[in-house]
């Protein structure tokens, strides 16, 4: 590394150090702007998806709940009809339907947990770029030292 001082200005490789520092500052500002822009874009995409999904999920919950209650009543009525002479026919019918819905609910919960374990809500693409940038900066610093 050749450093020389002429008239109070420090030069490295025929360029003033002040010019090099200004260029580094500008590069750092551009670097930060790019990364913030990437993060904003990823978060906006996720927000837009949620703005569409949440109202649709509410409608789905209302209609599926009504359908569930009606189908449950129909199934209980069908099982009650299968035991016409039993005093416990309503109890047996509700027990059978309750166990059936419990099994279905447990399977659904298992599927949700399994799905969410594989899903990462962190902006991974931005983090990967930042990790690569960090490695690049470290290698540049090592090469200059």
Express each pLDDT in 92-144 by its tens digit. Answer: 999 999 999 999 999 999 988 887 786 667 777 888 888 888 888 878 777 76
Q: Domain range for residue 74?
A: 3-144
Q: Rounded CA gap, 111 and 104, in Å?
A: 11
Residue 12 has pLDDT above 80, yes or no: no
pLDDT of residue 144: 66
Query: Looking at residue 23, what DSSP letter applies?
Result: H
Alpha helix (H) residue ranges in 83-123: 89-118
Tokens of 3: 């450093």
Per the DSSP assignment, residues forming a β-bridge with 6 are 9
What average pLDDT does range 4-26 have in this prediction? 70
State the sign of the Cα–Cα–Cα–Cα dihedral 118, 120, 126, 130: negative
pLDDT value at residue 7:
61
3-state secondary structure of 6: strand
- Cβ proximity of 129 and 111 under 8 Å: no
Domain count along the chain? 1
Q: How many helices (H) and strands (E) does the chain have?
A: 3, 3
């Amino acid at each position: 590394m050749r450093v020389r001082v002429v008239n109070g200005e420090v030069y490295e490789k025929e360029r003033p150090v002040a010019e090099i520092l200004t260029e580094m500052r500008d590069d750092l500002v551009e670097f930060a702007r790019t990364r913030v822009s990437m993060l904003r874009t990823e978060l906006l995409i996720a927000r837009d998806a949620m703005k569409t999904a949440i109202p649709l999920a509410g409608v789905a919950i209302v209609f599926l709940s009504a359908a569930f209650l009606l189908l449950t009543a129909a199934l209980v009525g069908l099982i009650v009809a299968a035991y016409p002479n039993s005093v416990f026919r309503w109890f047996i019918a509700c027990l059978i339907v309750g166990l059936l819905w419990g099994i279905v609910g447990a399977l659904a919960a298992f599927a949700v947990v399994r799905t969410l374990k594989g899903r990462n809500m962190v902006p991974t693409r931005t983090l990967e770029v930042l990790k690569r940038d960090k490695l690049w900066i470290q290698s540049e610093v090592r090469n200059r030292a």
